[in-house]
A and B are shown apart, each in its own frame.
Chain A
Amino acid sequence: MSTEHGLFGAKGTGDTSGYGGLVRKSHNELSAERPYGGYFDEMVDELERAYPEFNDDIERVVLDRGELTLHVKADRLFHVAQVLRDNPALRFEMCLGVNGVHYLADTDRELHCVYPLLSLTHNRRVRLEVSVPDSNPHVPSLVELWAGNNWHERETFDMFGIIFDGHPGLTRILMPDDWIGHPQRKDYPLGGIPVEYKGATVPPPSERRSYR
Chain B
Amino acid sequence: MTQTDPYASSRETTEGRVYSVTGNDWDSLVTEIGATKEERVVVNMGPQHPSTHGVLRLILELEGETVTEARAGIGYLHTGIEKNAEYRTWTQGTTFVTRMDYLSPIFNETAYCLGVEKLLGVTNDIPERATVIRVLMMEFNRISSHMVALGTGALELGALTPMLFAFREREKVLDIFEMASGLRMNMAYIRPGGVAQDLPEGALEKIRETVKELRHNFKDNAKLLIGNSIWLKRTQGVGYLDLAGCITLGITGPILRATGLPWDLRKSDPYCGYEDYDFDVITNDGCDVYGRFLIKMEELEQSLRIIEQCVVKLEKLEGAPVVLDDKKIGSPADLKVGPDGMGNSEEHIAHIMGQSMEALIHHFKISTEGFRVPAGQVYQAIESPKGEVGVHLVSDGGTHPYRLHFREPSFNNLQSLSAMCEGSMIADVVAAVASIDPVMGGVDR
A binds B: yes
Chain A interface residues toward B at CB < 8 A: 13-15, 17, 19-20, 22-27, 30, 64-67, 69, 93-97, 99, 101-102, 114, 116, 120, 123, 125, 127, 146-152, 155, 172-176, 183-184, 190, 205-206, 211
Question: Are A101 and B397 within 8 A (Cβ)?
Answer: no
Bound CA span A67–B123, Å: 14
Residue B390 CB within 8 A of the other chain = yes
**B88 nearest in chain A by CB position:** A211
B261: nearest chain-A partner, CB-CB: A120
User: Complex Cα distance A175/B82, Å?
Assistant: 14
User: A151, B83: Cβ atoms under 8 Å?
Assistant: no
> Can you pick out 18 interface pairs between chain A and chain B where the beta carbons lie within 8 Å of each other?
A20-B369, A20-B372, A24-B396, A25-B375, A26-B375, A27-B375, A64-B377, A64-B378, A65-B119, A66-B118, A93-B247, A116-B390, A146-B250, A147-B415, A148-B251, A151-B414, A176-B75, A190-B87
Residues of B within 8 A of A125 (CB): 269, 379
Compute how far the CA of A191 lies from the CA of B248 in the bound complex, rounded to whole angstroms. 36
- Are the CB atoms of B250 and A95 closer together than 8 Å? yes
Among residues of B, the one whose C-beta sits closest to the C-beta of A13 is B398
Known: A13-B398, A99-B392. A150 touches B121 (CB 8 A): no
B167 → chain A closest CB, angstroms? 30
Inter-chain CA distance A99–B248, complex, in Å, is 18
- Is B334 an interface residue when CB atoms closer than 8 A count as contact? no
The answer to whether A25 touches B397, judged by C-beta atoms less than 8 angstroms apart, is: yes
**A94–B372 contact, CB under 8 A?**
no
Known: A13-B399, A22-B372, A151-B415. A205 touches B250 (CB 8 A): no
Given A19-B365, A23-B397, A147-B249, CB of A116 within 8 Å of CB of B392? yes
Name the segment of B53-61, B273-281, B405-413 touching the other chain.
B405-413
Q: How far is the CA of A13 from the CA of B263 in the complex (A)?
A: 44
Shortest distance in angstroms between A92's beta carbon and chain B's nearest beta carbon? 11
Complex CA–CA separation, A38 to B445 (angstroms): 35
B415 near A206 with CB under 8 A, answer no
Q: Is B344 an interface residue (CB 8 A)?
A: no
Interface of A is mostly: loop
Contacts of B251 in A (CB 8 A): 148
Cβ contacts under 8 Å, B388 to chain A: 96
Q: Please, which residues of chain B bring their CB within 8 A of the CB of A149?
A: 250
CB pair B250 A65 closer than 8 Å: no
Interface residues of B in 401-423 (CB under 8 A from A): 402-403, 405, 407, 411-412, 414-415
Q: Looking across the interface, which residue of chain B has its beta carbon closest to that of A14? A: B369
Contact between B74 and A96, CB atoms less than 8 A apart:
no
Are the C-beta atoms of B405 and A99 separated by less than 8 Å?
A: yes
Contacting pair A206 B369 (CB below 8 A): no
Which 10 A-B pairs rank lowest in CB-CB distance, beginning with the nearest?
A: A148-B250, A24-B397, A148-B249, A174-B75, A99-B405, A174-B78, A147-B248, A27-B376, A27-B375, A22-B372
B249 touches A127 (CB 8 A): no
Tell me if B84 counts as interface (CB < 8 A to partner A). yes
Q: How far is the CB of B272 from chain A (nearest CB, A)?
A: 16
CB distance from B39 to the nearest CB of A (A): 25
How distant is B366 from chain A, measured CB to nearest CB, in Å? 9
Q: Do residues B250 and A190 form an inter-chain contact, with CB atoms below 8 A?
A: no
Q: Are A97 and B119 in contact (CB under 8 A)?
A: no
Residues of A within 8 A of B379 (CB): 67, 114, 116, 125, 127
Q: For residue A205, which residues in chain B have a CB less than 8 angstroms away from its CB?
A: 87
Is residue B394 within 8 Å, beta carbon to beta carbon, of the partner chain? yes
Chain B residues, Cβ within 8 Å of A127: 379
Q: Are A22 and B374 touching (Cβ within 8 A)?
A: yes
Residues B75-92 near A (CB distance < 8 A): 75, 78, 80, 82-84, 86-87
Given contacts A25-B375, A65-B119, A211-B87, contact A96 B396 (CB under 8 A): no
The residue that B403 contacts in the complex, of A67, A96, A101, with Cβ under 8 A, is A101
* B383: interface (CB < 8 Å): no
Please indicate the chain B residues that have their CB under 8 angstroms from the CB of A120 in the complex: 247, 261, 263
Structural contact, A151 and B411, CB atoms closer than 8 A: yes
Q: Quick one: given A175-B75, A183-B80, are A116 and B407 in contact (CB under 8 Å)?
A: yes
Contact at B365–A17, with CB atoms within 8 Å?
A: yes
Minimum CB distance partner of B403 in chain A: A101
Q: Are B396 and A26 interface neighbours, CB within 8 A? A: yes
B75 and A152 within 8 A (CB): no
CA A190 to CA B400, docked complex, whole Å: 14
Contacts of B80 in A (CB 8 A): 183, 190
